[in-house]
A and B are shown apart, each in its own frame.
Chain A
Amino acid sequence: MAPLLKVDNIEVYYGMIKALKGVSFEVNKGEIVALIGANGAGKTTILHTVSGLLKPKTGKIVYNDNDITKTPAHKIVTMGMAHVPEGRRIFQQLSVIDNIKLGAFTRKDKNEIEETLKYVYERFPRLKERKNQIAGTLSGGEQQMLAMGRALMSKPDFILMDEPSMGLSPLLVSEIFEIIKAINENGTTVLLVEQNAKKALSIADRAYVLETGSIVLSGDAKDLMNDESVKKAYLSE
C-alpha cells in the first residue's frame, strides 16, 4: 500500500537561507511518526511545507495519491489534513466556540459538525465549560487543548502537531500525550514534532531525526530510543 504521505527530497528556502536540504520521509496510514531534532533543525519548516504554508523549491509531496506540492494550504485542509501549529496560534480575540467553529470552516453538514463537536467536547471537557470565554484569556494548557480541538473539528484523517507539549506542566504533558494516543487509536494518522523526544518516542511507531535541515537517522521508535547517539543528544535529562 502506498504511504499516506510521501515527502520526496524537498528543499525549502527562507529568502537565501536554505532551511531544508533535501528531506525525504514517509508516513503510513494509522501510524504515529515522530520528528525530533534540536532547535532550528527545521522541524516546523517541514510541517509548514507539508500543510502548504510554505512551498518547496524542489522536491515533491504526495498525500493520499495526490501531488500537493503546489496546492494552497486552504485546499489541503479539505483533503483531510489538519495542522496544530507551533505556539498554538489560536485566534486570541475570538471566543473558544468561534475558534472551534473555524476549525470546521471547510465542512458543510450541520449535523455532522455537531457530532464532531460532541466528540471534541468529550475529549476536552474544559473547552465546553469555557466555550464563551475569549480564547486569549485561557491558560496555556487550555489553549493547547483548544488548538487540538479546533484541528479535530475538520475531522482529519491526518494531523500534524508541532510541539504540543511546549510550556506545559509535566502532568499536563502526560495528559496531552494520552490524548494524542487516543486520537490515533480513533483512526487518525499523526505526524508529531517534539522537543520532548523521550515522550514522543514512547508513543510513536517510527521516528526521524533531523539535524540542520537533513534527516540523519530514522527507524522504529523503540530502536531509536535505545540508539546511543540519540540517547546522548536527545534523551539526556
Chain B
Amino acid sequence: MVTLLDGLSLGAIYALIALGYTMVYGIAKMLNFAHGDVIMVGAYAIFTVFSITGNPVIAFIVSIILCVVLGIVIEKLAYKPLRTASPLAVLITAIGVSNLLQGLAQLIFGTEPKSVIILNKLGSVEIADGIILNISTIVTLVLSAIIMIVLTLFIKKTKTGRAMLAVSEDKGAAQLMGVNVNKIIMITFAIGSALAAFASLFYLIKIPVSPSFGALPGIKAFAAAVIGGIGSIPGAMVGGILLGLVENICLSIDVIAPYTTSIEFGLLILILLVKPTGILGKKIREKV
C-alpha cells in the first residue's frame, strides 16, 4: 500500500515533467531535451531563495516565475529561429541548451549536492492501522491531481486551450482561424515550465539538487511521455504514473531492485513493440 502510494507520487512527478515534453511536442512538433534542466534550475531557485529568506512559499513562487521565464527565453532564443530547420538541428540545439544550463549551475553552485532541510522534515502521518505515509507523498499526490485536473479543464474549456489543440492538429488552419501560432507556442512552453517547477519542488523533497538533478527524472519522464503516446496529454499522465509505480514496486523487491532502470526502459521498448504510438498515442499524420 505504502509502496503503491509512494510509486503513485513518484509517477505524478514523472507525469508533470512528461506533460511538458508532450505538450511542446504536440504543439511545436519538437523535442525539448532541455526540459529536464528547467527542473534543475527550479530546484536551485527554491534552494537559493529559501536560504536567503527562510520562506518556502516565497522560494517556490520565485521558482515558478523563474522557470516560466526560462522556458519562454529558451523558446525565443534557441528554438524559434529554428522553426523551419531540420529536427536534427533542433535536437543538437536542445542538447546545447541543456549543457549550457548544467554548466552555469556548476559554475554558480559547484557540484556539491544541496538540500533544502525543511522539505525533508515534513514528517509523516498514520492514515490507517500500520500504514504510515510521508506528508510529502500526500502533498505531491494531492497537488499533482489538482494540477492535472486544472490543466485538463483549461485545455478542454478555454479559448486558449482549444487554440492549442487546433495548432497541434493543423498550424495553417489554426492561423486561418486567427490563432497566433507563435503566441500559442510561447504559452505552451510557459505552461510546461510551470509544471516543471512543481516537479522540481516535489523531486527536491526526495533528493538534493546538483547540476545533473534534472537529467534522470527528465529522461524517465521523456520515456513516460513516449510510453503514454507522445503528443497526448492524458498519455503523459498515464505513462508517468505507470512508470513511477513500476519503479517503486521494483525498488521494494530486493532481488529486482538493482535492475529497476533496466526494467523501466524494457517496459518502454515492450510497449513500443506492441503499440508503436504509445498507449494513448494517435496515428501520426504529416500535415503541411
Contacts and interface: CB of A to CB of B under 8 A. Distances in A.
B176 interface: yes
B23 to A, nearest CB: 15
B176 A82 contact: yes
A70 interface: no
A72 to B, nearest CB: 8
Contacts of B179: 74, 102, 105
Contact of A102 (B166, B180, B282): B166
A89 B175 contact: no
Nearest to B160: A105
Interface residues of A, number: 26
B177 A98 contact: no
Nearest to B282: A93
A91 B285 CA distance: 13
A101 interface: yes
Contact of B178 (A53, A89, A106): A106
A73 interface: yes
Contacts of A72: 175, 180
Interface residues of B, number: 18
B271 to A, nearest CB: 22
B162 A78 contact: no
Interface string B158-171: 01001101100110
Contacts of A77: 175-178
Interface string A99-115: 00111011000000000
Given A94-B162, A94-B165, A73 B175 contact: yes
A83 interface: yes
A89 B165 contact: no
Interface string A147-178: 00011001000000000000000000000000
A85 interface: yes
Given A93-B282, A105-B178, A85 B163 contact: no
Main SS at interface, chain B: helix
A103 B177 CA distance: 5
Nearest to B156: A98
A144 interface: no
A90 B175 CA distance: 12
Contacts of B96: none
B172 interface: yes
B2 interface: no
Contact of A74 (B162, B165, B170, B180): B180
A137 interface: no
A143 interface: no
B173 interface: yes
A89 B163 contact: no
A132 interface: no
B181 interface: yes
A91 B176 contact: no
A89 B282 CA distance: 18
Contact of B173 (A85, A98, A106): A85
Contact of A101 (B162, B170, B175, B282): B162
Most A-side CB within 10 Å, residue of B169, B178, B180 = B178
A58 interface: no
Given A51-B176, A85-B176, A74 B181 contact: yes
A94 B166 contact: yes
Most B-side CB within 10 Å, residue of A51, A102, A154 = A102
Given A77-B177, A102-B177, A103-B177, A91 B172 contact: no
Contact of A78 (B163, B172, B178): B178
Contacts of A103: 177
Interface of B: 159, 162-163, 165-166, 169-170, 172-181, 282
Interface of A: 51-53, 72-74, 77-78, 82-83, 85, 89-94, 98, 101-103, 105-106, 150-151, 154
